[in-house]
Amino acid sequence: MGRTSLALRAGAAALAVAAIMGLSGCGWGRTVAEKEALDKNSASNASATSCVDTSGNTIKVGFVNSLSGTMAISEKTVSDSLHMAVDEINADGGVLGKQIQIEQQDGKSEPATFAEKARTLIEKQCVAAVFGGWTSSSRKAMLPVFEEDNALLFYPLQYEGMESSPNIFYSGAAPNQQIVPALDYLKEQGHKKLFLVGSDYVFPQTANRVVKAYAEGNGMEVVGEEYTPMGSTDFTTIVNKLKFSGADAVVNTLNGDSNVAFFKEYKASGLSADKVPVISMSIAEEEVASIGVDNVKDQLTAWNYYQTLDNPENKEFVKNFKAKYGESRPTSDPMESAYTSVYLWKKMVEKARSFDVDKVKAAADGVTFDAPEGQVKVDGKNHHIYKTSYIGKIGSDKLIHTVWKSDGPIAPDPYLKTYDWAKSLSASTSGSDGSGE
């Protein structure tokens, strides 16, 4: 395709593998080696030849979601919401007068597969933008592909922060829009001893570095920290450690169907939400049904959207989603964030009056959208968005109900520069200017 040399592609692949295996500090910014390799490629990135065809009445976009594997329980609904957004936009006239044509790829819950499929979408299917990814490992694997080819990825998930890229727009929460509000809420409720449980990959490990720094700076104590492989279903030992740890709250960063096994074991051990509540970072409405509401009733979640939000945009969104996919299907934060990201891309393109990647990036700053979660706004410097934070409690109706919300949209701070207790964290990252370049 005339984009980059095989040597540069091999270098990008090596960076992706390093990120997947945790050799890049588990997502804690870029290592010096990664930064130097990406800087070396910058000239090639700038001259990457796009194969996007804007001559006809259609424009292609790519979706890459896990439609199979352990993450399918969560990612299928994201794919559904992306399709719904495109259908709505097409019915309203499309983007710059062009109908959107979808190219769908299955990431198969494997980070390396996400990188492979992303390259296929960009270089072979010639899409103008890609939407998708869930785990931070999948995003880390794709990041060098998008920077190498100077293409656009819209990533919909809340994540651990300490990253920004000129080729990624992060429509999910930065850590100061999810993790920090969750800890503030636990502190306000008098919880002081935390037990951390997570899947063994980028997001939980890095998020828990934030948790530990917060605890140290706010008079709290981490009394246990356990990780388990993605897809793990045996939590006997971990829950036993939790039960006898002295913890008065649990911070849960498990992902996918491991949550089912964890909460069943938690309940079977005699633990309960009134004694040792669990606040989860990756359980949304659709996971509640899979876990079983009896296993998670009254437990807490930290997100930026719930189906139960009372505003006109959300009521319309929920109505349309259920009309399209069935009354029994709930809406949730990740799929709402993905839905919102398609509209943000549309508004960026229309502001730029072009599908050209560099022009779209230049037009991004200040773009707003009245989303189901509330109004969001793009920060053109770090490519994150202003978002309102919500703490919710899981009800017997399988929905999540707000028990706390921020005063308004919170400015994204992916490197946690504005928090004194996080100075040691942000100081250890590269790209600390927030540009990602």
- Greater pLDDT, 388 or 430: 388
Q: Which residues pair with 193 in a beta bridge?
A: 221
Q: What average pLDDT does the segment 380-387 reach?
A: 98
Question: Model-level pTM greater than 0.85?
Answer: yes
What are the residue boundaries of the structural domains of the chain, listed by start?
Answer: 6-173+314-388, 176-304
Question: Which of 389, 352, 330 is CA-nearest to residue 76?
Answer: 330
The pLDDT value recorded for residue 167 is: 98
The pLDDT value recorded for residue 48 is: 64
Side-chain half-sphere CA neighbours of 168 within 13 A: 30
* Residue 79 · residue 63 · CB < 8 Å: yes
Write out the CATH class of domain 176-304: alpha beta
First to last CA, the chain: 24
- Say if residue 101's pLDDT is above 70: yes
- Say if residue 39's pLDDT is above 60: no
Separate counts of helices (H) and strands (E) for the chain = 16, 15
The average confidence (pLDDT) of the chain is 89
Fold of 6-173+314-388: Rossmann fold (3.40.50)
- Say if residue 23's pLDDT is above 90: no
- Say if residue 218's pLDDT is above 60: yes
The pLDDT value recorded for residue 430 is: 43
Q: How far is it, in rounded angstroms, from Cα 331 to Cα 154? A: 19
